């Protein structure tokens, strides 16, 4: 399968100045050569036209580049045909490549081949997708750090540090009659556990930058939820009227605050209602609360707390919450004494308190931790889970060593830890894991 020459459109769907059709495989140059009006030299752009071999008609005016193996993204022969960026010319050129013997690439197959051919490891391959999906500069910085191999280097160092100890343990088991000199592996394992703890501790911050913080804006009708969304975004995304219950459905928008992406979900006012449309909106609001990482509970500071406010407080109990006492431009009547969460006073009408609200969002999301620009952050849930398993196995190995358990039990735990670490870079993994990871990529990457 991976001996085939593959092809895909590698630029987004829609109209643009340029669109790229990418080929990879040993027949890439030959296939492109049968369509292009000129010879295709390596290492330079060539101007010409793509012709339909059957009709001889010009399909598009293009620039073609050829990158011979192994000096390409996939370490295979790669040809990129730079077309005009409309859907029709791209589809026509793609179709001609398929007619000439190329196979349509699977999602992420170009990056998969880069991994299989040893150009990048698995953690770096996943960082490619993170770069594509980055929502903020900070998120992009974290992803680029992954692509440059920061985590991979740490994992490689940990594995290399543990290997001699495992070899000594194995030798003592396999050759007991040879009286193999015993190496004290406890300090090595303790050092690895400490390093793993440091990496795992960065995951909460790293995943905030990478995945964002899903933030539900909730409250009873007419407390200013949609107005709050609009002023945070700096544009009128939600309809605002004096009529209670204007919002009937959830609305999602991404807000960048100090590099942290917040996925704001404006919800319908939570009330008891028999109206079927309002009921659907209220149900979606409840679902938004369940899925949220953070809740902005908006109340009307100009009115005493209502039973509906208290019901919403009950619903969000157990969540990370910022209470937004909105409408501070009115005389204060809401008593928030005893509320167990962070309270910020705002006015969506005048803009009062919005700076404090933005700062509070970041403080709550990051727990007061802001990463240095060059800090290594674990930002992938799969990597975090593998690091946690490795730490758990090494912890068991330490317990067995200190209790005088047989060496073979310690060996099992250390081997399992090494395998867990290897899953991060792809040194130890199963084929179905590769399928799962690369299925999340777009076809052209």
For residues 355 and 228, state if they share a domain.
yes
Last residue of a domain, one of 55, 86, 121: 121
pLDDT digits (tens, 9 = 90+) for 276-316: 545 565 667 778 888 889 999 998 988 888 888 888 888 88
Q: What's phi and psi for 15, nearest 5 deg?
A: -90, 140
Does residue 61 lie in a domain region? yes
Determine the average pLDDT of the residues in 183-207: 91
For residues 226 and 294, state if they share a domain.
yes
For residues 301 and 321, state if they share a domain.
yes
Q: Which residues, other chains included, contact 445 with Cβ-Cβ below 8 Å and sequence gap of 6+?
A: 10, 108, 110, 111, 128, 129, 132
Q: How many domains does the chain have?
A: 3
Decide which of 147 and 270 is more confident: 147
CATH code of residue 219 = 3.40.50.300
CATH code of residue 85 = 3.30.1360.120
For residues 41 and 88, state if they share a domain.
yes
| pLDDT classification of 397: cutoffs 50, 70, 90 | very high
Of the chain, the percentage scoring pLDDT greater than 70 comes to: 89
For residues 241 and 181, state if they share a domain.
no
Spatial contact of 282 and 271, defined as CB atoms under 8 Å apart? yes
Does residue 385 lie in a domain region? yes
Decide which of 178 and 236 is more confident: 236
For residues 62 and 104, state if they share a domain.
yes
For residues 116 and 179, state if they share a domain.
no
The domain of 100 spans 6-121
For residues 333 and 417, state if they share a domain.
no
State how far the Cα of 232 lies from the Cα of 214, in Å rounded to an integer.
15
- The answer to whether residue 237 scores a pLDDT higher than 80 is no
pLDDT digits (tens, 9 = 90+) for 104-157: 999 999 999 999 999 999 999 999 988 888 888 888 888 888 888 889 999 999
Determine the average pLDDT of the residues in 25-49: 94
Does residue 216 lie in a domain region? yes
pLDDT confidence of residue 244: 46
Determine the average pLDDT of the residues in 312-327: 90
Decide which of 35 and 13 is more confident: 35
Does residue 436 lie in a domain region? no
Report in angstroms the alpha-carbon separations of 414 from 167, 202, 397, 417, 438: 10, 23, 6, 5, 29
Does residue 26 lie in a domain region? yes
For residues 220 and 359, state if they share a domain.
yes
pLDDT confidence of residue 241: 42
pLDDT confidence of residue 345: 92
CATH code of residue 152 = 1.20.120.430
pLDDT confidence of residue 100: 96
Q: Which residues, other chains included, contact 178 with Cβ-Cβ below 8 Å and sequence gap of 6+?
A: 171
For residues 243 and 353, state if they share a domain.
yes
Determine the average pLDDT of the residues in 156-175: 83
């Amino acid at each position: 399968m991976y001996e085939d020459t593959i092809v895909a459109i590698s630029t987004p769907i829609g109209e643009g100045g340029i669109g790229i059709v990418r080929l990879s495989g040993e027949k890439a140059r030959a296939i492109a050569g049968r369509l292009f009006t000129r010879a295709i030299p390596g290492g330079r752009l060539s101007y010409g036209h793509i012709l339909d071999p059957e009709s001889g008609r010009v399909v598009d005016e293009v620039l073609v580049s050829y990158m011979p193996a192994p000096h390409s993204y996939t370490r295979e022969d790669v040809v990129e045909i730079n077309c005009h960026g409309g859907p029709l010319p791209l589809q026509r050129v793609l179709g001609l490549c398929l007619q000439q013997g190329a196979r349509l690439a699977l999602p992420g197959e170009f990056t998969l081949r880069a991994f299989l051919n040893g150009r990048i490891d698995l953690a770096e391959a996943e960082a490619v997708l993170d770069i594509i999906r980055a929502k903020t500069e900070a998120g992009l910085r974290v992803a680029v750090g992954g692509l440059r191999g920061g985590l991979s280097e740490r994992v490689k160092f940990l594995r290399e540090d543990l290997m001699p100890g495992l070899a000594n343990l194995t030798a003592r088991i396999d050759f007991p009659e040879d009286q193999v000199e015993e190496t004290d592996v406890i300090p090595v394992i303790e050092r690895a556990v400490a390093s793993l703890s440091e990496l795992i501790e960065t995951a909460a911050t790293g995943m905030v930058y990478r995945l964002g913080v899903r933030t539900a804006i909730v409250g009873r009708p007419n407390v200013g939820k949609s107005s709050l969304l609009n002023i945070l975004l700096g544009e009128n995304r939600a309809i605002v009227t004096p009529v209670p219950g204007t919002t009937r459905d959830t609305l999602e928008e991404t807000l960048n605050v100090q590099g942290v992406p917040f996925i704001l979900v404006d919800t319908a006012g939570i009330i008891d209602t028999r109206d079927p449309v309002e009921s659907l909106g209220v149900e979606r609001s409840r679902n938004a609360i369940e899925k949220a990482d953070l809740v902005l509970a908006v109340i009307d500071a100009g009115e005493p707390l209502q039973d509906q406010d208290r019901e919403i407080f009950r619903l969000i109990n157990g969540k990370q919450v910022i209470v937004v006492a909105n409408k501070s431009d009115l005389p204060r009547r809401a008593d928030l004494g005893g509320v167990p969460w962070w309270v910020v006073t705002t006015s969506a009408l005048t803009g009062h308190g919005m700076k404090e609200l933005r700062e509070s969002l970041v403080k709550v999301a990051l727990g007061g931790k802001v990463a240095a620009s060059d800090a290594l952050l674990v930002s992938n849930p799969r990597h975090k889970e593998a690091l946690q398993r490795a730490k758990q196995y090494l912890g068991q190995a330490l317990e067995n060593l200190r209790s005088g358990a047989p060496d073979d039990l310690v060996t099992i735990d250390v081997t399992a830890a090494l395998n867990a670490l290897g899953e991060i870079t792809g040194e130890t993994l199963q084929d179905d894991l590769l399928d799962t990871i690369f299925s999340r990529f777009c076809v052209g990457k």
